Structures are given as C-alpha cells and as structure tokens.
C-alpha cells in the first residue's frame, strides 16, 4: 500500500512538471498558427476602390421561377 502511494505521488508530480514544461510550447504554437491565418486573411482582402464582379450561376434547373419578394398575408380591419 505504501509503495502504491509513493508511485502515485511520483507519477502525479512527474505529470505536473511535464505539463508545465509542454503547455507554454503548445500555447505558443497555437498562437503562431492564429497569427499566420490572420496574415493570410489580411493579404486576401481587397484594396479600397477595387471592383470585382462575381457571377453566381443558378444551376437548380428551374429557370421559370421569378424572385418577386416576400408574400405578406393581411386582413382588413373594420372600425
């Protein structure tokens, strides 16, 4: 029983020290990845005054359907 307690405490402290050593490295690596993503997104943004036209093709197959807006149902109110 005493041997088990000594081993359990030893494993606990070993894991504690290992996590303290590895955690800052993992945080720094994650932070670097986030910075790289932000830089890539910044480079992909368009400059002021730049105009682009993007055509979206409706390939659903129903060309007779018209986009006429929303239909609002109403009732007449008598005074």
Q: What is the pLDDT of residues 34-55, one digit of tens each?
A: 999 988 887 776 666 777 777 7
| Interior angle at CA 77, CA 71 and CA 79, nearest 5 | 160
* Mean pLDDT estimate for the chain: 82
**One-letter-per-residue 3-state SS of the chain:** CHHHHHHHHHHHHHHHHHHHHHHHHHHHHHHHHHHHHHHHHHHHCCCCCCCCCCCCCCCCCCCCCCCCCCCCCCCCCCC
pTM of the full structure: 0.41
What pLDDT is attached to residue 12?
Answer: 95
């Amino acid at each position: 029983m005493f041997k088990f307690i000594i081993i359990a405490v030893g494993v606990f402290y070993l894991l504690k020290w290992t996590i303290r050593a590895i955690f800052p490295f993992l945080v720094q690596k994650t932070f670097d990845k986030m910075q790289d993503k932000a830089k890539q997104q910044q480079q992909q943004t368009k400059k002021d005054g730049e105009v682009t036209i993007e055509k979206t093709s409706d390939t659903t197959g129903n060309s007779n359907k018209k986009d006429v807006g929303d239909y609002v149902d109403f009732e007449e109110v008598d005074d």
